[in-house]
Amino acid sequence: MIVAHSRGYLCPSQSFDGQVHSVFARSVNIATSLRQTPWVSVLDSSLPATPTSFQCSLGAVGNLTAKLQVGDGAFMRGGIIRFKPSRRVQINTLAALSWQPEPALSQLDHPLLKRNLQAVEQALLGHLGKETGQPVTALDDYLKLSGLAVPERLGAIPEALFDNLGKGCGLTPAGDDFLLGVLAAAHGLRPLWPQADQVVQRLAAPGLFNAYQTTSVSAHYLQLALAGHFSQPVQRLVFHLLQTADATQVQQALSATLAIGASSGADTSAGIVYAIGQLLPH
């Protein structure tokens, strides 16, 4: 039995039934019967923690796709997640410690935020240039390369970002990740910045988000994002960007976010930088 060491703050404690939605070498997503938490993930420690994931060292299990299949039964009883027909993977969640979301913004230091934003943007552009092998000297270069269209004024028509839904490579397409970054930044700023709050409210308006325009894995993360929940590295990046004077911590938070997926972390970071740049008063 594998012992989970960490659990997201939205992970269920009660029993549930479900089935394997998708399985990868080091993670498995479970569609559950719970209304509050219809989606739970079990992730290897090397992957970024999300609010609905249990994390454990899956190295000893080997490749999960050899043990589990899409549609396999999955259930939790007494804090232990089991699968059927396979009994080779069992996750004990009882000792897992719950991580908590980053604290909400309590004060806004504009010069600090501007400094952090410039540093993150420079580092991000450098990263994107290396990854794409093409000169990326401004966020516009990145948007062109990715084929993403963004509103000139985010506050005017934030809904335009939904046009990018499902656009781009990867299991969570670039357009989705970018939107997720925008939501993370807007949620981070909203306690003290009314324009950010308006963006969040308009993007979360009922009926606007069509989950069928993208993959169901990506749709899950976007639904969480619309409700203000993000993976741990993304939360940390926004928190440090907005509130930390220590440049090293900001850079570390960016590095951790850039490490998400193949390009998801970079796309999300780009969304964060774009949104803060748009929402920050000039």
Binding site for another protein (CB under 8 A): 1-3, 5-6, 22-25, 27, 45, 57, 59-63, 65-67, 70, 88, 95-97, 147, 164-173, 175, 212-217, 248, 261-264
Nearer to another protein, 198 or 216 (CB): 216
* Least CB distance to another protein at residue 216 (A): 6
Q: Strand 16-24 vs strand 6-7: parallel, antiparallel, or unpaired? A: unpaired
* Least CB distance to another protein at residue 215 (A): 5
* Least CB distance to another protein at residue 70 (A): 7
Distance CA 12, CA 150 (A): 36
Nearer to another protein, 5 or 114 (CB): 5
Nearer to another protein, 207 or 212 (CB): 212
Nearer to another protein, 60 or 281 (CB): 60
For residue 160, give both structure tokens. Answer: 């335009």
DSSP secondary structure code for residue 150 in this structure: -
Rounded to 10°, the helix 264-279/110-132 angle is 150
For residue 187, give both structure tokens. Answer: 């949620």
Residue 91 burial (C-beta neighbours within 10 Å; 0-12, 13-18, 19+)? buried
* Least CB distance to another protein at residue 165 (A): 7
Instruction: Give the closest residue to 189 by CA, choosing from 97, 108, 102.
Output: 108
Residue 154's CB: how many other CB atoms inside 10 A?
23
Nearer to another protein, 168 or 188 (CB): 168
* Least CB distance to another protein at residue 44 (A): 10
* Least CB distance to another protein at residue 261 (A): 4
In the chain, % helix, strand, coil (3-state, to 5) comes to 45, 15, 40
Nearer to another protein, 33 or 69 (CB): 69
* Least CB distance to another protein at residue 194 (A): 32
Nearer to another protein, 117 or 174 (CB): 174
Residue by residue, what is the 3-state secondary structure of 242-278?
A: HHCCCHHHHHHHHHHHHCCCCCHHHHHHHHHHHHHHH
